[in-house]
Amino acid sequence: MAAISLSYLTSAVNARAFLRFLLSSRATRIRYRLTSTLTRCGVFACRAALVAFLGVLLAFSLASKLFIAGGVR
């Protein structure tokens, strides 16, 4: 019984310390850096996907024009 109450007390202290950390300004800075990094990576990934998609569209449009021009000659 004493071991159970001691482990419960330890977990309660750890939970309280963790909650205190989450509400601290250091944790706020960490969350801000993480979110801004993820946002920048997300924007970069979206731009890269858009450029790749436009490149594929350009390649298909040029390929069809070159194929038609080659067939006419």
Tell me the per-residue pLDDT of 11-51, one tens digit each, with 9 for 90 and over. Answer: 777 778 888 888 888 888 988 998 898 898 898 999 999 99
Half-sphere exposure of 44 (CA within 13 A, CB side): 6
Whether the predicted model's global pTM rises above the 0.85 cut? no
Interior angle at CA 6, CA 3 and CA 17, nearest 5: 150
Say whether pLDDT at 72 is over 90: no
